[in-house]
Structure formats: structure tokens, C-alpha cells
Structure 1
Amino acid sequence: MTTDQWLIPPLPDSIPPSILSKADVLVTKTAFLAGLLAPETAACLSRQLKISDADYSRIIDGHNTDLEVLEDATNLASTQSTLGEITELRRRLIAALAHHYHLVQTQPLADGNGAMARLVVHMHFAQIGLHPQLWSLSRGIARRQEKYHAALGINDVTQERQFAGAFQRSEQASLSFIELMLDVCHEEVDYMTTALSRHQLRKSVAHAYRINSRLTDAGVSPETMPALLALLIQGSLPRTEFVTFTGLPPEIASDQLNRLINLGIVMSPPFNFQRLEVGLPAWFAQVLLPDCHLA
């Protein structure tokens, strides 16, 4: 791929108000989502979503993307792909999605450009401050893959594409793709915001304590639920505070804590035995995000 292909294409002369409005609102929504999560919880979630994106890419592209392709793309994108002179936040967001369209249109998808283009958008979104590590664009595209492929002019992701005349694609086609992607982004941010709200977290954790075999087989007591919920929300707690939250006698509470640590839901940092941090193994992340491929 040539360096020129990494340049952001010019934005359309006239962007519909509906697209500008969706871009504006998305900025607000992602900031709200980030505010829901403590740094420790956000870091755990980010690791799980990064792993899940590989599964979603296989669904979207119909094949595994060569890791070397993604590594090369990451290295080049980190030095070449910038949003240039665009200063207005919502237009930077729109430009990032236009860049995705441009990248897929200029190279065969079979060579890995689908996953690569999504990776570049992720990097753009991070630069803009949309916290893309806390929600999955790939999940949203996988749920709308037929519309995604149609918007890109791809009828069969297993067939090699012909790109003659790709640069003559209409401005309207690019805008239609951008609007679709904005809808996808909104759906995914809304999904994560709902799933990680205090109300839904409480319901999900309570449900897990009732039916999850890992918890019951490990002998985890329902009395530990308030303490675990507090840890999920706050990200970390003093060990003594966690024990107090359980309402159990100290010895029993310590035993229960060890059971949660053995399950990986609670972490005890080796450098600070007196403090606990949240853990998010794939099976427990699936409890909180049941519609995600996290296991």
C-alpha cells in the first residue's frame, strides 16, 4: 500500500445535518460510557474486547487476517494516518469513517484491508477521544455485515474484488457508508452503556449468583455479591473494606475472598496485598455482556 493511500480523503462539500448531528451525539455518548467505568474495570474490559475483535473480524471478512498484515498496518498507520488539518471534533469523526471507506476501496479486501481499515478507524477514534477500547466497532459491523458489505460494494467477501473505477464512486456512496457506520457506533455504545449501568450490573451479577455453575461449584456465598458489585464499580478496594461489604465474620469473609480470587474475578496485586482489584475473566465478562463473543 502506498503512502498516498493513507492520506485522509477530502470530506464531501456538503455533509447532511443528520450525519453531523449523529457525530455530535456520539462524542457525548462515548464520554458518558467512559465515565461509568473505573480505570481498572476499563482496562479489564478493553483486554477482553480486543480478543473478541479477532472473532468478529473472521465473521465480517470470511477469513483470518494475517497477523503480519495487521502489524504492518499498525506500524504504518501510527506514523502516516492522521486527521490532518481538521479541527472540528465531529468532522474529525466523519473523516475517520471516510478514511475507512477510502482504504477498503483502494485495495483488495482479500489482502486483509477490511480488518486493517477497522484498525485504522480504531486508532483515529482513540486520537479523537471516543474511547474505542470500551466498545466494539467490529461487533456492530458483524451484526450488520450484509449492509456493511453492500455499502462498500462488496457482494461476496470470499471473491477477489475488481477496483477499476473505484475512485469514481459517488460522494453519496461515501456519505451513505458514513451514516451506516455512525448508526453502528451508536448501537454499540448504547449496548455497552446499558450493560455497564449500575442498574444492569446489579441485575447481571445477581443473576450470575443464582445460576452460574462456576460460582456455585466454587462455593461462593451470595453474601459476597455486594462486595463484588462495589469492586466492579470502583475498580479497586482496600481488602478490609471488601471484607466489611460482605457482612460476614472476618474468617469466613477471607475464605470467600480467596474463592473469588481463585476464580479470577478478584485480583490481589502482589505489590500491595492490602488492596484488591477487579478481574474480568472471559467467562465472567460473558455474564456482564451476554451478547458478546468473549469466551
Structure 2
Amino acid sequence: MNASNPALPDSIPQSILVSADLLVTKTAYLAGMVTPETAACLSRLLMDSDAHYSRIIDGYHAEPEVLKNALNSANQQSTLEKVPELRRRIVAALAHHYHVLQSQVFSDAKGAVARKLIHQHLAQLGLHPHLWSLARGLARRHEEYHDLAPTHRTRMGDPIDGAQPSGKSILSFIEFMLEVCHREVDYMTAALNRGRLREAVMHVFRTHLRLTGAEIRPQTGPAFLALLIQGALPRTEFETFTGLQPNEACDQLSKVINVGLVVSSASNRHTLQVGLPTWFAQDIFPDFSLAESEVKPG
């Protein structure tokens, strides 16, 4: 390992550097697809789902206080600022993730610590991890993750073999992690495609029992879609998008506010913001959460 940057392998294959470069481009494109208001909704949903995915990956739930203390300690070991090139910083962040998993210091929560830490690093590197879920991808491929990660085979910090990892094993892990990152970014990019999003939203407005039961009409779907894409809209503009008569449009707006799809602030009743409850997100984003049949205990 490089002495001045211990998290960075000495020799990095060009294919890994190209993959890291492409990840920068892809995440920038994804970030450009959503407004800050919609991004905030997605971030909240993904954060909530990450706790579920983490339990699938590790097979247990890390206590928040243990996780906080271990994360503070792990942050002190990061050396990304010493790496001058962005794509190499990405590689260094993934290598550091590997080394946290290898460490015996964070035995009570090392998997969760490592993933929290890589999320922080990806955010610092401008890769917008609040818009896609690395944990989701790792949960789907948790057996491969366990095979490639150095110490997921133990929870209590018992030595595995006493040997230092080879450069090849670290690079294999980095390559796997980059592949998972790409797949998750691709998933969210496809899910947020305007044409696919329109089709999904309109289908939910026509068929979802929570909406039909609340007497929310399909004509309100285009207004919500415009709000989802733009993040915020004037109240009058939302009502116009429904194409309904004023009284009926106002009634429909009240109903979508009641079910949580639209947020109306008491301090600014003239502007509406998008709401994205979990039950709705699970219908407009295919495979947003893992079915029980998709996972086995780690």
C-alpha cells in the first residue's frame, strides 16, 4: 500500500479508473434530473430503507450509539484529502471501506460503520449518494459482498487468518463495489425517466386503492406529476393542471394533501411542495424494496 495514502492501492488498473470516472458522470446526470424538493423526498425514503437493507446485509441491527461512536473513530482514520485526483479518491474511499471491514476495532458494528462512512465519502466527493442506495445494491448481492469483504465472516472481532489482504483481493472488492454503485445509479436514473415516471404515476392514480378509496380522480395525476418533476408549484397552477372546474380542483387538492402526496405549508399556503410517502414510492419505483423471497440471512 502507498505509505502516504494507506487506503489507496499502489497500482490501480485502468478499467477501475475508467469506472470511477464514469460514476462521476452518471451521478451528476442523475442529480440533474431532480429538483431539491424532490431530492429531499428521495433522500428521506432511501435513508429509511437503508436501515432495512443493513439488517439484511449484516444479519443484525447495529445500535445507534455504538454506530455513532465507531463512526467518529473511523472518520479519524480517513486519508482521502491526501489523494489529489477525484477518480483516485473514489478508489481510495472504497479501499478505506475494505480496511474498516478488516479492522478489529469496530467489531460491534463494522459493517454498518463501513457503509455509513462510504456514504459520507461519496457525498464529499460529489457523487450524490442521497439519490441512490448502495445499501440496496449490497443487500441484493450480500453473499458476494460477504465473500469479498475481509471480516464479514465474524461479528465479534475474532481473527480470520492473521494475514494481510493482498492487493488483488482489495482491487477485486473495489471492482465489485463500483459495479454495485453503477447498477444502483442506473436503476434510479431509469426510474426517474420522464416517460416511465409519467406512465407509473398515472397507473397508480388509476388503480391504487388508497387513492380510489379517498375519491382522488385520475385527472389529478398530471398535476401531481408536474409537482413531482418541479418539486414545488403555485397552488393555482396545480389546480389548473388537473383540468377540472375550480371547486372540484380545490377539492381534489385537499384530498391529495390529506393522503400525503402534496405538502401545503401553513407559513406559505400559496406554494405546494411534493410529498412522497413510502406506499406511493413503492408503486412508482419498480423493485424499490426487497421482497422477502429475494433475500436469505447473511
TM over 0.5: yes
Which moved further from structure 2: 192-201 or 285-294? Answer: 285-294
Specify which of 265, 284, 291 is matched with residue 269 of structure 1: 265
The reply to whether residue 254 of structure 1 matches residue 243 of structure 2 is: no
Displacement of 1:294 after TM fit?
8.9
Runs of 5+ unmatched residues, structure 2? 292-298
Runs of 5+ unmatched residues, structure 1? 1-6
Aligned residue in 1 for 2:34 = 37
The reply to whether residue 114 of structure 1 matches residue 111 of structure 2 is: yes
Specify which of 196, 199, 213 is matched with residue 195 of structure 2: 199
Q: Is the 8 A contact 1:246 1:253 kept in 2?
A: yes
Change (3 A) 1:74 1:160: closer
SS at match of 2:268: coil
Post-superposition Cα deviations, 1:95-154, rounded to whole Å, max 9, x if no partner, equal: 000000001001277511001001000000010000001100000001111111111145
Aligned residue in 2 for 1:148 = 145
Whole-Å Cα distance in 2 between the matches of residues 90 and 154 of structure 1? 26
Displacement of 1:75 after TM fit?
3.5
Aligned residue in 1 for 2:295 = none
Whole-Å Cα distance in 1 between the matches of residues 24 and 11 of structure 2? 21
| Identical positions, percent | 59
Whole-Å Cα distance in 1 between the matches of residues 225 and 99 of structure 2? 44
Whole-Å Cα distance in 2 between the matches of residues 35 and 247 of structure 1? 29
Whole-Å Cα distance in 1 between the matches of residues 39 and 124 of structure 2? 17
Q: Is the 8 A contact 2:191 2:285 kept in 1?
A: yes
Aligned residue in 2 for 1:235 = 231
Displacement of 1:289 after TM fit?
2.0
More helix by share: 1
The reply to whether residue 216 of structure 1 matches residue 212 of structure 2 is: yes
Q: Is the 8 A contact 2:101 2:151 kept in 1?
A: no
Please give the TM-score of this superposition, normalised by the length of structure 1. 0.92
Q: Is the 8 A contact 1:53 1:138 kept in 2?
A: yes
Q: Is the 8 A contact 1:9 1:98 kept in 2?
A: no
Whole-Å Cα distance in 1 between the matches of residues 121 and 98 of structure 2? 14
Displacement of 1:21 after TM fit?
0.7
Whole-Å Cα distance in 2 between the matches of residues 294 and 268 of structure 1? 32
Change (3 A) 1:235 1:31: same
Question: How many residues get paired?
Answer: 288
Query: What are the within-5 Å matches in structure 2 for residues 153-168 of structure 1?
Result: 153=150, 156=153, 161-166=158-163, 168=164
Post-superposition Cα deviations, 1:26-45, rounded to whole Å, max 9, x if no partner, equal: 00000011100010000011
Aligned residue in 2 for 1:3 = none
Post-superposition Cα deviations, 1:228-266, rounded to whole Å, max 9, x if no partner, equal: 100000000000100111111111000000000000000
Post-superposition Cα deviations, 1:169-203, rounded to whole Å, max 9, x if no partner, equal: 10000000000000000000000000011111111
The reply to whether residue 16 of structure 1 matches residue 13 of structure 2 is: yes
| Residue identity opposite 1:72 in structure 2 | N
Please give the TM-score of this superposition, normalised by the length of structure 2. 0.91
SS at match of 1:36: coil
| Residue identity opposite 2:26 in structure 1 | K
Displacement of 1:79 after TM fit?
5.5
